[in-house]
Amino acid sequence: MKKFLSMLLLFFGLLGLLAWGMDFLITRQFKKMEASPFANWNDIYNTDINADILIMGSSRAYVQFNPRILDSALHISSYNLGMDGRAVESQVIKYHVYRREQKKKPQLILFEVYQGTMDVSNGYQRIQFVPYLNDAYLWRQTHKLEDFSWADAVIPCWRYRNYIQEIKEVIGGTSFYCQPEQKAYKGFCDSDKPWDGSMLARIDTIIYSREPEAVAEVVHFLEECQQEQIQVAFVVAPYYIGATRKIEDLDGWYGMMSAIAKPFDVPILDYTYDSLSYDTAYFYNASHLNRVGAALFTQKLAHDLDSLGLVPKR
């Protein structure tokens, strides 16, 4: 019996060691990645970002707000925390992890808002959190939203059980996340894809999101920033005019955003009807500017921040 138990313990010990080694190698591979969304998290955990201006929002933030242009034009340091396919609660979680890991607080937050901001995330790119679940703080922030169990945080390899194909592709260098065009600069990743209006053509009406929990999340976030004396500005980036005309009750959306912003003295920089919005040459789809459009928009944004006296003092 003793021999059997010893053999059993040895077997599970070797199995645990193998699982730990595999977990280590897989996690190391993700933590070497320079592509979005992993590049963001790797910077947050491993780099002194020292941002004066922090950019938050959805994919409309991370493909349209160019830190290189902001830094050059305003003589500051900026960083883009935009999240593809993620609504406000995920964006705020990412901000909280950023603040916990980074020594310097931002002086200005550019919060990209649009008709989908006040929604709840649907699990898109859930894998972005997985390599970092050994951080107990991140696990606590995400486990209810993303349905992570305690085992995901403590048992080697368990967190990767649903991502076998993605892991094979990442290790083999064939994944979407490994493509050169996905390489991020300070969290920013632009695109030179050609215009595609097929999705817009299939949509008759765009209804803006107004989930109560999302609105409460933004209000609480603004309260935190007010307490820390961090200026926040809402930015409505250009939207192709053909899409804007399909938004139901656009005035109602503006009213909601103004009601949220006003008590906290949050300015709203609105580019909905900017000249860029009328030309598909600047977009790759109805809600995202292409590389040229993003550069022109960021230049305008930098000019307006300067004109409004919102540029942080160094």
- What 3 state SS string does the chain have? CHHHHHHHHHHHHHHHHHHHHHHHHHHHHHHCCCECCHHHHHHHHHCCCCCCEEEECCHHHHCCCCHHHHHHHHCCCEEECCCCCCCHHHHHHHHHHHHHHCCCCCCEEEEECCCCCCCCCCCCCHHHHHHHCCCHHHHHHHHHHHCCCHHHHHCCCHHHCCCHHHHHHHHHCCCHHHCHHHECECCECCCCCCCCCHHHHHCCCEECCCCHHHHHHHHHHHHHHHHCCCEEEEEECCCCHHHHCCEECHHHHHHHHHHHHHHHCCCEEECCCCHHHHCHHHEEECCEECHHHHHHHHHHHHHHHHHCCCCCCC
Structure confidence by residue, pLDDT tens digits, 247-299: 999 999 999 999 999 999 999 999 999 999 999 999 999 999 999 999 999 99
Cα gap 265→92, rounded to integer Å = 19
pLDDT class for 112, splitting at 50, 70, 90?
very high
In a domain? residue 8: no
Residue 170 lies in a domain: no
Q: Is residue 175 part of a domain?
A: no
Q: What is the pLDDT of residues 197-216, one digit of tens each?
A: 999 999 999 999 999 999 99
Q: Roughly how many angstroms between the first and final C-alpha of the chain, as a whole number?
A: 72
Decide if 261 is inside a domain: yes
CATH code of residue 212: 3.40.50.1110
The answer, yes or no, to whether residue 11 has pLDDT greater than 60, is no
Could you give the CA distance from residue 107 to residue 69 in angstroms, rounded to a whole number?
Answer: 18
- Mean pLDDT rounded to a whole number for the chain: 91
At residue 85, the pLDDT reads 87
Residue 25 lies in a domain: no
The pLDDT-based confidence of 33 (bands split at 50, 70, 90) is confident
User: What domain range is 280 assigned to?
Assistant: 35-125+180-307
Give the Cα separation of 297 and 283 in Å (integer): 11
Predicted confidence at residue 124, as pLDDT, reads 86
Identify whether 27 is part of a domain.
no
pTM: 0.92
pLDDT band at 14 (very low <50, low <70, confident <90, very high): low
Residue 105 lies in a domain: yes
Beta bridge partners of 112: 235
On whether residue 154 sits in a domain, the answer given is no
pLDDT tens digit sequence for 158-188: 999 999 998 888 888 777 777 777 788 999 9
- Could you give the number of structural domains in the chain? 1
